[in-house]
Amino acid sequence: MLLAVLMLCPCRAGAHSEEASQKHQAGDPFPEEGGAAVGVDERLGAKIPLDATFRDEAGRTVRLRDLITGPTIILPVYYSCANVCNYLQGGLARVLPTLKNRPATEYRVISFSFDESETPQLAARYKRMYLTSMNVPFPEDGWRFLTGDAASIRRVTAAAGYRFQRRGRDFIHPVTTLVVAGDGTIVRYLYGTTFLAKDVSLALLEAREGKAGASIRKVMEFCFSFDPTGKTYVFNLLRVSATVVILCAGGFLAFLLLGGATRRKPGTLADKKEQD
């Protein structure tokens, strides 16, 4: 049990801006001249617009409803980013092969560019790069790379509470990953460029909307809780330890009671025979 607890100890991951010298936590203001502050207003339980249309890496028009059919990891990025967007997608590419969930069947990943000037050809190039970097087979449909117009982009980012600003040819933006359910409901925000397989797996489990069964969800909620400060799932050591102690004590007490009753039965039969 101690080894399990040590393995599940969370690592802290912060949020970053496009400029490395001006790091900020998600939701903290990043003032811009003439615009709203950059950050994330978490909207857990809200839904992203599934009727929003984008272009996929092949240039085809697709609706989010066609792609978000189950648990989905969404990465707001821009492909020409030379900084944290590459680290964000590369960090996820390193973790995905370690997940037990089957891509394109049990979950999907979507990178979408919030730069309306980027093209499907650029998206296709980065898709090849990240899929190749995994060094393991990964289904083409398991990770989609989208581009779109400003209206569709703003609809999605506004629904997610994701606020970014253009600065010249670059952007100031949070480094945030969304996990949504099959109906578009936002169930979790993950922050930073480093992913823990535990956090991704538990977020996907949360997004399965009952398909995993109520018992599995209850066990997950009992053993783990999401720490909004550290932005990671935390093992409920005290709750689980107390439950184990109570169960062990109850089992030992039941053993004593049932064992004592069993030992008394032979004596009672012998006494009856002596009386006869």
Read out DSSP for 211-258? Answer: TT-HHHHHHHHHHEEEETTTTEEEE-HHHHHHHHHHHHHHHHHHHHHH
Residue 95 has, within 13 A of its CA and on its CB side, a CA count of: 17
Question: What are 189-234's pLDDT values in tens digits?
Answer: 999 999 999 999 999 998 986 443 333 444 555 565 556 666 555 6
Q: How many CA atoms lie within 13 A of 175 on its CB side?
A: 29
Q: Residues of 10-24 as b/e, b for ≥16 C-beta within 10 angstroms?
A: beebebbbbeeeeeb
Mean pLDDT confidence for 87-106 = 95
pLDDT higher than threshold 70 for residue 79: yes
Cβ(54)–Cβ(62) under 8 Å?
Answer: yes
pLDDT tens, position by position, 8-67: 444 333 334 443 333 333 344 444 444 568 999 999 999 999 999 999 999 999 999 999
Is pTM beyond 0.75 here? no
If you average pLDDT over residues 127-148, what whole number do you get? 96
Q: Which of 34-48, 96-110, 119-133, 146-160 has the lowest mean pLDDT?
A: 34-48
Higher pLDDT, 157 or 19: 157
Q: What is the pLDDT of residue 7?
A: 42
pLDDT of residue 248: 72
